[in-house]
A and B are shown apart, each in its own frame.
Chain A
Amino acid sequence: MKPNTEEINDLPTPSGSESNTQNRKKLSTQPGIVQGSCAFDSAMITLLPITDAAHVVHGSSGCASSMWGSAASLFSDSTLHKTRFTSEIEESDIIFGGAKKLRKGILELQKRYKPSVVFVYSTCITAMIGDDIEGVCRDVTEETRIPTIPVHCPGFIGTQNLAHRVVGETLLEHIIGTAEPDICTPFDINLIGEHSIAGVIRNVLPLLEKLGIRVLAKITSDARYQEICYAHRAKLNVVLSSQSLTSMAKKMQKKFGIPYIEESFYGVEDMNRCLRNIAVKLGNADLQERVQQLITEETAALDEKLAIYRTQLQNKRIVLDIVGFKSWLIVFASQKLGMEVIPISTKNFTEDEQSQIKSLVGRKSIILQLDTPEEIQQIINEHQADILIASRYQYTAIASNISFLDLNTERNRPYAGYVGMVEITKELYAAISSPIWDVLREPNPWD
């Protein structure tokens, strides 16, 4: 199941969504530079939203506990996925092999926790000592009839992208198409690659429901095992954010003839386009009309909600560090709110990326040459900015008499869909209008 070199080289190209900005990071690892994440961790985060599954880490307890609780996802139903299982291999298991212990452990947990499915993740140590995870999974599946699925994605094989590929392959090989839904409708779609961090999918599902579009499988967010089995009966795959799962959509097109589109739930324009494209692809004129109507209603409602913030924020100037997913959200919000964005960055963008940035905010990004507080201060002064939005330099912002918003804060708010725009706007307004900046600027009374 390990991806071959050809697949590794066939890496996605960047465009404007969350995983894009992550994709831009160099894909090779380099000693002395921490970049990217752990492949095992990424694979597990991608599958974790299958909520009635037992996720078993075959490795040291360090691997299991380090990533535990890091994805702040909200879920509605089963909570089994929040229970962390690990074979916790120890020195003796490394010497004698950990497969036996793993098998015993899986059988034990199946008895006690009754999962619908078990995912078994290999990690660096167990991959290196060559434990036969596939064999254990095959035996256990035969013995108990509970599907037990190996995920071969130890941390040292590479990056997040590769992990997503492994996950796609695993789902296709072991789950998708193994059961038939009771009924099929012409409006069945799959959502692929949105993991509903902070429950974002809840901002969108009601809209789809209103339109009469049925989400057959959410791969994977707040999903049950059974729905993933049905995924091959969808009429359309909607790939969101996680570009690397596009390879999975491509394979589903080949294998089951399901067309796919790549969309995003973030920002009003993208959300509108997403709904329109789903309707077009499902080829139903009536639905297209309903979508148009919904968009009109939702954008009108949104404009009304944003009106009060718009009066406060219009024409304010943002110096924005283009780094990560949230900076694009700020860009989308600034468009709706009539704010001006001065993009800055520490890395050289390509011409294409620069023109993409220009088309969004009306100017190319300033590339920081020195990356010092003085340089930031100069940019702030030159553009008479009202707020700095970045992951550092907050002290520079305070010293420059302007507000600051941290891009690094935890992602526990749902930013997707039309509702998400209100969320990010509130955050922006709270930062700009906060009285704390004046308090922090007060000089020491003894000076």
Chain B
Amino acid sequence: MAIVSLTSTSVTVNPLKQSQTLGAALAFLGFKGMMPTLHGSQGCAALTKVVLARHLRSSIPINTTAMTEVATVLGGEENVEAAILSIVEKSQPEIIGLCTTGLMETRGDDMGRFLKEIRHRHPELDYLPIVLVSTPDFKGALQDGFAAAVESIVKVIPQKSEKANICPKQITILASSAFTPGDIQEIKEIITSFGLTPIILPDLSASLNSHLENCHIPITTTGTNLEQLRSISNSVCTLVLGESMRNSAQILGQKFCTPYEVFNELTGLKATDRFLQTLAHISGNVIPEKYRQQRRQLQKVILETHPYFGCKRVSLALEPDLLWSTTHFLRSLGMQIHAAVTTTRSPLLEELPITSVTIGDLEDFELLANGSDLLIANSHADAISQRLNIPFYRLGIPIFDRLGHGQFPRVGYWGTIQLLFDIGNLLYQEEMKVRH
């Protein structure tokens, strides 16, 4: 049981968290034909685009209602309407994800009414789903915005088909912001190897393959499409990857009576065992030979690497879902959690098997992390690693100073092996330094 404390200063120094708006925009990128649109000042969209482009290392479709000072005083309805019409004309999206920003939430624009009236004035847009999500950046964090965007999608788009037509091989996957595109790709591969068809919300993995895209397309060209979203009611069950996605699963449960199961970890031997067992149970198939072999390899790698992990002290600055899975994985190797800082509230925090966790910034992290053997955080903690002279492994969002960080999985047996070597090498290198 962890005691959750809030930082008590009046000034935040080196913020750890990213905004809800950014999280929602990121989630929307996992759907095909999408134009994420931010209702706020054009700067909000421009900066969100920069952060996401640097993190994902690809071009990012994003749009804005371009609220000016005057427009803010008058209210945003005209701008929302103009933006939607312009996007439809120029980019022909299949779906628009409309996120609010702190500015418009402060003003109190009634977005629900705006959309209703815009729809009334423009019946020609009836075909086009416009998914509205409230993501003020003055509360919550990336993980909350990401989850809220998926909630809005499952509320609006999947409809109950007229006759119940459950497809026993189709499962819905709700994957939180803790997973990279490489993770999602691995998860997809594992699931399909059981003969199951996953519908992944959101599916960021496909963006990995779009590097040879021929021309500049202003909307997403990959990801889960509308047809798949509409067929979610037929899924035999929902697997929730990350606690923050539980609400979406509950919504699906209420709408379609789909049962769900939550997996808060997919890294490590036991966590992967549980996931594969569940898939075997759902599909009625045995665990494929490929994964049996990977499991034996993982056992060997754990044996090989554990001396470098045992009793080492690690400090973590991660969002709640990622903090939970990383804490459990590293503790399973004998590491001790020296300090934990996170961004936002979550029911997981109090259940963490550590003494305390701080909802705070990277200044808190720097103070708490002193004396540990390893730091794990996003790229902004690089300077801290240099000042404290402690090895640093990058995890979370944003990561802008590493090539290919989003490409390789850290989930499943194979991903766990990868992670063990990556972190193990950092710790090993540190020991070698001492010897010479």
Contacts and interface: CB of A to CB of B under 8 A. Distances in A.
B85 interface: yes
A37 B43 contact: yes
Contacts of B107: 128
Interface stretch (B16-24, B126-134, B406-414): B16-24
Contacts of B138: 60-62, 89-91, 93-94, 125
Interface residues of A, number: 62
Contact of B46 (A37, A93, A396): A37
Given A32-B83, A69-B379, A69-B380, A125 B63 contact: no
B13 A109 contact: yes
A31 B46 contact: no
Contacts of A410: 54
Interface in A139-158: 154-158
B376 interface: no
Interface string A75-86: 000010011111
Given A61-B15, A67-B47, A32 B213 contact: no
B80 to A, nearest CB: 7
A70 interface: yes
A41 B51 CA distance: 13
B10 interface: yes
Interface stretch (B67-75, B169-177, B275-283): B67-75
Contacts of B72: 124, 128, 156
Contact of A396 (B17, B64, B214): B214
B80 A31 contact: yes
B11 A109 contact: yes
A151 B171 CA distance: 53
A62 B79 contact: no
Interface string A136-179: 00000000000000000011111000000000000000000000
Given A60-B137, A66-B19, A373-B214, A32 B46 contact: no
Q: What is the size category of the interface that chain B forms with chain A?
A: 35 or more
B9 A41 contact: no
Given A86-B15, A156-B43, A29 B68 contact: yes
B401 to A, nearest CB: 9
Nearest to A408: B59
Q: Which of B10, B43, B66, B71 gathers most chain A CB within 10 Å?
A: B43
A65 B15 contact: yes
Interface in A27-53: 29-41
B212 A395 contact: yes
Contact of B19 (A37, A65, A94): A65
Interface hub of B62, B84, B216 (most chain A Cβ within 10 A): B216
A104 interface: yes
Nearest to B135: A62
B125 interface: no
Contacts of B82: 30-32
Given A38-B44, A94-B138, A60 B102 contact: yes
A87 B42 contact: no
Contacts of B71: 156
B161 interface: no
Given A41-B43, A156-B72, A85 B12 contact: yes
A240 to B, nearest CB: 24
B62 A62 contact: no
A70 B15 CA distance: 15
B197 to A, nearest CB: 26
Interface string B34-65: 00000011111111111100100000001111
B86 interface: yes
A33 B218 CA distance: 11
A128 B80 CA distance: 19
B138 to A, nearest CB: 4
Interface string B361-380: 00000000000000000011
Nearest to A59: B102
Given A33-B63, A62-B18, 14 more contacts: A29-B42, A31-B82, A34-B42, A66-B51, A69-B379, A69-B380, A70-B54, A91-B136, A124-B40, A155-B42, A156-B43, A372-B215, A392-B215, A395-B213
Interface of A: 29-41, 56, 59-70, 79, 82-91, 93-94, 101, 104-106, 108-109, 124-125, 127-129, 154-158, 372-373, 392-393, 395-396, 410
17 contacts: A62-B18, A62-B21, A66-B22, A66-B50, A68-B15, A70-B50, A88-B15, A93-B138, A124-B43, A125-B103, A125-B138, A128-B106, A157-B69, A158-B68, A372-B215, A392-B216, A395-B213
